[in-house]
Amino acid sequence: MRNKERRVYLDNNATTPTDPRIIEKMLPYFHEISANPSSIHRAGRQARDAVEEAREKLSRLVNCRTEETYFTSGGTEADNMAIKGTVFAQNERNKIITSEIEHHAVLTTCEYMTKFGYEIIKVPVDKHGIVDLDFLSRSVDEKTLLVSIMHANNEVGTIEPVNEIARIAHRHGAIFHTDAVQTVGKIPIDIDDLEIDMLSLSGHKFYGPKGIGALIVRRGTRFDPLHHGGHHERNKRAGTENVPGIVGLGKACEIAVTEITGEEKRLQVLRDNLWAGITKDIKEVLLNGHPEKRLAGTLNLSVRYIEGESMLLNLDMQGICASSGSACTSGSLEASHVLLAMGVPHDLAHGSLRFSMGRFNRDEDIDYVIKVFPEIVRKLRAISPLYKNNLSKH
Amino acid sequence: MNPRNVGEIEDADGVGTCGNPVCGDLMTFYIKIHPQTDDLDKARISEIRFKTFGCGAAIAVASMASEMAKGKSLSEVAAMSRDDVANMLDGLPPIKMHCSNIGVQAIQEAVKDYLQQIGRDDLARRIKGCPKKEH
């Protein structure tokens, strides 16, 4: 029944295993080179150099200037900093526009801003998860401070037309922020070309360590800090720098710059093979997300008549790590807000499953899932009252 | 994961369903009654089967509730509570108590169905059955 030997990790959108090359690069910064980068002694200067070297690598990955980068504790802090920071820096505009499918780091922060008199508008999405640009155009006006819409969705992988969104925001002088936690290091990003004002990223989503991320802020964009204290990060983010984390993030960026294109193609093959293998053996499986404009490593699907968490538990017993948009896995009683916003019916949202592939997955992993998954579906369908009802109709 | 008493009974004496797919959990129970009487202390559940659409907790609840109800008189089944099932499972996470723990109610629905079929709607009305608001 159980397979304790095998472990297939297909939950890379949740977090990625840290690349051993990155761990190796980080290790000296815990002990040998552990001084405070703000110290003026030689050891401190060594730590400072490491931070600045990482900053350059990050700048290269997204094509920004080094003075436009602010290291944070991760994606959530970067999102908070972008939204609250722009709000605190002004008092002329009172409207924030976001989308219905944002990560909770953006959604909950935006909702909190209503407490300070801000109007929040959530742009709806189509059935593939692409934001409604007409709705956005009608919503942005001269009172709009910020438009915050994600680059790619973490659950379904749909990639948003951020350049068009940026242009719509700029028409009325609004700032455009994008949560790019799922895209940085996975698809090439040039914030100049895309006309992005603020961009959030997280180290552990692209093989760096947890606890490190960054907010990129284009020069001339007004924002106040969240953390007040020392002069770190040019007075915008007080607190002693997480040097090992920053070094790790820098290395993650360096690796991504050279490997990004080949890796994107490789992951797409794995993803499409998995989809082909699953749909060959299992009937009535539906794809969630955009068929083409989608992250190479993300496969989100709904299996009719059965529930996601029970699939996850059965996959886990076979050593396979995945995730689901079922209410049972959310910690609340609601199914995925992303799938519901896309118009996916409740039962199919509960029956959704996300496989997200990454750098350390190989063909064998996909073959293994294709081998064990149909039996899990067969077993759960056999005990489902919905499946019986369907058969009696035919 | 090896739930007990899974399946259907084609010539069931009572069928009961609680929950809905919107909530994420749905259970249907099938029961056979022996002896077939309207005396709630004498009539017992002689056979029980279920089907469920739901999370791992819902499957565990349905399996445990079916084991607990098997052989019990209808008055004993009417007195069962969702807490009894949760206790037998060594507790359930608080979030699962509401949505997933509907096994007892679904079995009680099946008992109500039996009583209605033998013309005792009056007795059926006294048994709780599904929670009114399921979400």
For A175, counting Cβ atoms within 10 Å of its Cβ (0-12 exposed, 13-18 middle, 19+ buried), the class is buried
The torsion defined by the Cα of B76, B78, B82 and B88, in degrees rounded to 10, comes to: 10
List, for residues B50-90, the tens digit of each pLDDT value.
Answer: 999 988 889 999 999 999 999 999 999 999 998 899 998 88
B55 labelled catalytic: no
Instruction: Determine the pLDDT at residue B133.
Output: 58
A328 labelled catalytic: yes
User: Looking at the complex, does the CB of residue A314 fall below 8 Å from at least one CB of chain B?
Assistant: yes
Give the helix/strand (H/E) hosting A61: helix A42-62
**CA-CA distance, B95 to A255, in Å (whole number)?**
42
Instruction: Determine the pLDDT at residue B95.
Output: 73
Task: Tell me which residue has tokens 């294709």.
Answer: A370
Which of B18, B55, B99, B130 does the annotation list as catalytic? B99
Instruction: Determine the pLDDT at residue B18.
Output: 93
Instruction: Determine the pLDDT at residue B135.
Output: 44
Nearest-by-Cβ selection for A310 from B26, B27, B56: B56
What separation in angstroms does the CA of A129 have from each of A68, A101, A189, B46? 30, 8, 20, 51
List, for residues A61-106, the tens digit of each pLDDT value.
Answer: 999 999 999 999 999 999 999 999 999 999 999 999 999 999 999 9
Average confidence score pLDDT of chain A: 95
Structure-block tokens of residue A51: 């931070």
Nearest to A326 by CA among B54, B119, B129: B54
List, for residues A313-365, the tens digit of each pLDDT value.
Answer: 999 999 999 999 887 666 666 889 999 999 999 999 999 999 999 999 999 99
Cβ contacts below 8 Å, chain A against chain B, sum to: 75
Strands A213-217 and A69-72: antiparallel
Q: Do A307 and B55 touch (CB under 8 A)?
A: yes
Mean pLDDT of all residues in A201-221? 98
Which residues in chain A have their CB less than 8 angstroms from residue B51's CB?
A: 383-385, 388
Complex ipTM tops 0.90: no
- Residue A4 pLDDT grade (very low, low, confident, very high; cuts 50, 70, 90): confident
Give the helix/strand (H/E) hosting A299: strand A298-303
Compute the C-alpha angle A69/A217/A168, nearest 5°: 150
Q: Which of A7-16, A304-313, A360-369, B52-61 has the lowest mean pLDDT?
A: B52-61
Which residues in chain A have their CB less than 8 angstroms from residue B8's CB?
A: 388
Mean pLDDT of all residues in B106-134? 89
Taking a C-beta distance cutoff of 8 angstroms, is the pair B41, B69 a contact? Answer: no
Instruction: Determine the pLDDT at residue A334.
Output: 81
- Residue B134 pLDDT grade (very low, low, confident, very high; cuts 50, 70, 90): very low
Mean pLDDT of all residues in B8-35? 92
Instruction: Determine the pLDDT at residue A308.
Output: 93
